[in-house]
């Protein structure tokens, strides 16, 4: 079975290539055996074998063929034991084993399979967390253990989740074919939403053992690039990719040495990834040139304005304000209003920003949510009203369930408290004993 493999050392590139093969192999095997769910299990097994053997024995000359062979062997085993079970139960004459040559199947490859899988795994009938888990495994080529680690649940739990998701797909009778152009238009938003959630979910920095952490943001970018290659004319996908790149470019600057949160206006911009920024800007231009401005393009445009500024003081806030005003017309919501209020504050002054927030005081959707207090705190701080700023920061800190946010907000409050003591007494704030 093992061809004489290459002696190339196993590295990140090899890993990525292996992952990219997963949906291709799955497409072939699923169509041949007409069973997406079992095929997906079989391919996952083949992936696990590859992850174990290839680093040791080298990458086979025909890696895709190798995976197809291993996966189909598993499928044959599954089929045989299913036949045996049925025979035992019904005492019918032995069935013919389907004669399928793995070598044949190689030519079955269809470049659109990845798209078929993506639409299937992101089907609107599935919950977002189900879709995310299945997409990462079936399309992303990640192992169950890797996905479980990323979401900090036991592997068995994640395996079950994925199993259930596939059962839902089966029950919904989703056919294994590319959706029609009309269906595609309808279902693409769900796909993009799943990809966006994978990107923005973030990951906990402390989990169990110091395992190699899976970078979900990078996986999301990789998957979105893949979709874009298959639907190059689609402006929304380009917009989403632009948004991801323009956001991801800041990754090195957004957390400090204690994993603490560093907000945009305090980040060391020299740490931003210039290449990613540039690519994001180009992608945004491309997306906008295609006509209608969707939400991802809009958010990418806002990110681009931030990213263009060499220093926070150089940020083109009037531009950002205009973009948020557009956002509010196209897709209003409390979070948009909050961000709009910040932009208003930056352009017209914090009092005006605070006025914008009044509309949110009775908004049910924000009840108990920390961000309203956090933004109020920020605007009061801009205004120079330390007392109110501190109060709102601390209220926000008490409301948030995010530890990094909590740490950030209470530290901000403490900082303001010291600064106001300093200025009121004319003396430096008392030094704490260490």
Partner 1 sequence: MKYILLMSSTQAGVTGYHTWTQSDRDKHMQTLRTVIEELKGTGEFVATEGLAQPKDAKVVRGEKNGLPVTDGIFPESKEFLLGYWILDVATAERAYAIAGRISAAPGPGGVPTNMPIEVRQFADRATNAH
Partner 2 sequence: MKYMLMMNTMRAEAGVPTWPRADLQAHIAYMHNLNRELRQSGELVSAEGLSFPDRARLVQAGRDGAPITDGIFPESKEFLAGFWIVDVESPERAYAIAARASAAPGAGGAPLNMQIEVRPVMGGPPPEML
Give 255's strand partners: 261
By CB under 8 A, is residue 424 in contact with partner 2?
no
Contacts by residues 156-164 (CB-CB < 8 Å, ≥ 24 positions apart):
158/133, 161/129, 161/130, 161/133, 162/130, 162/133, 162/134, 162/137, 164/130
By CB under 8 A, is residue 112 in contact with partner 2?
no
Q: Are 40 and 27 in contact (CB under 8 A)?
A: no
CB of 428 to partner 2, least distance (A): 12
By CB under 8 A, is residue 25 in contact with partner 2?
no
By CB under 8 A, is residue 83 in contact with partner 2?
no
The residue whose two tokens read 């395992």 is 211
Binding test (CB under 8 A) with partner 2, winner from 258, 270, 289, 362: 258
Per-residue binding letters, 172-211, with partner 2 (x by CB under 8 A): ----------------------------------x-xxx-
- Residue 401 burial class via C-beta count within 10 angstroms: exposed 0-12, middle 13-18, buried 19 and up: exposed
By CB under 8 A, is residue 156 in contact with partner 2?
no
By CB under 8 A, is residue 398 in contact with partner 2?
yes
Q: Are 26 and 113 in contact (CB under 8 A)?
A: yes
Q: How many residues of this chain bind partner 2 (CB under 8 A)?
A: 28
The H or E element containing residue 417 is helix 403-425
- If DSSP codes are grouped into helix, strand and coil, which group holds residue 117? helix
| Residues in touch with partner 1 (CB under 8 A) | 127, 129, 151-154, 156-158, 160-162, 164, 199-206, 217, 247-248, 250-251, 254-255, 259, 261, 263-264, 401-404, 406
Q: Which does 203 bind (CB under 5 to 8 A by kind): partner 1, partner 2, none?
A: partner 1
Binding test (CB under 8 A) with partner 2, winner from 14, 319, 388, 407: 407
Helix extents (H) in 58-141: 63-90, 102-106, 113-121, 128-134
Closer residue to partner 1 in complex, CB, 81/402:
402
* Binding footprint of partner 2 on the chain (CB under 8 A): 206, 208-210, 258-260, 394, 397-398, 401, 403, 406-407, 409-411, 413-415, 417-418, 429-434
């Amino acid at each position: 079975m093992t061809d004489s493999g290459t002696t190339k050392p196993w590295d990140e590139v090899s890993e990525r290539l292996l992952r990219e093969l997963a949906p291709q192999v799955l497409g072939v095997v699923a169509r041949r055996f007409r069973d997406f769910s079992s095929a997906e299990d079989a391919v996952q097994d083949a992936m696990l074998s590859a992850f174990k053997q290839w680093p040791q024995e080298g990458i086979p000359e025909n890696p895709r063929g190798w995976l197809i062979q291993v996966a189909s062997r598993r499928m044959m085993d599954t089929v045989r034991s299913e036949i045996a079970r049925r025979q035992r139960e019904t005492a019918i004459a032995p069935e013919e084993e389907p004669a399928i040559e793995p070598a044949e199947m190689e030519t079955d490859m269809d470049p659109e399979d990845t798209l078929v899988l993506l639409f299937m795994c992101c089907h609107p009938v599935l919950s977002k967390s189900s879709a995310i888990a299945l997409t990462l495994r079936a399309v992303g080529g990640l192992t169950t253990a890797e996905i479980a680690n990323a979401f900090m649940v036991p592997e068995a739990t994640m395996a079950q989740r994925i199993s259930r998701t596939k059962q839902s797909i089966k029950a919904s009778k989703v056919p294994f074919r590319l959706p029609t152009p009309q269906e595609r238009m309808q279902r693409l938003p769900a796909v993009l939403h799943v990809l966006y959630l994978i990107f923005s979910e973030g990951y906990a920095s402390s989990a169990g053992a110091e395992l190699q952490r899976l970078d979900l943001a990078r996986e999301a970018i990789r998957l979105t690039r893949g979709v874009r290659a298959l639907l190059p004319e689609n402006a929304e996908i380009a917009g989403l990719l632009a948004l991801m790149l323009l956001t991801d470019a800041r990754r090195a600057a957004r957390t400090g040495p204690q994993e603490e949160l560093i907000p945009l206006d305090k980040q060391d911009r020299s740490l931003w990834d210039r290449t990613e920024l540039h690519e994001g800007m180009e992608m945004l231009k491309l997306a906008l040139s295609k006509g209608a401005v969707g939400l991802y393009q809009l958010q990418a445009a806002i990110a681009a304005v931030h990213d263009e500024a060499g220093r926070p003081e150089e940020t083109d806030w009037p531009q950002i304000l205009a973009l948020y005003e557009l956002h509010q017309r196209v897709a209003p919501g409390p979070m948009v209003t909050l961000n709009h209020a910040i932009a208003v504050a930056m352009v017209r002054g914090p009092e005006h920003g605070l006025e914008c927030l009044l509309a949110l005081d009775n908004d049910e959707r924000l009840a108990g949510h920390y961000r309203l207090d956090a933004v109020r705190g920020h605007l009061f701080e801009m205004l120079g009203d330390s007392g109110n700023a501190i109060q709102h920061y601390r209220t926000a800190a008490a409301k948030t369930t995010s530890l990094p946010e909590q740490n950030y907000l209470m530290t901000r409050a403490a900082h303001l408290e010291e600064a106001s003591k300093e200025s009121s007494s004319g003396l430096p704030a008392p030094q704490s004993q260490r």
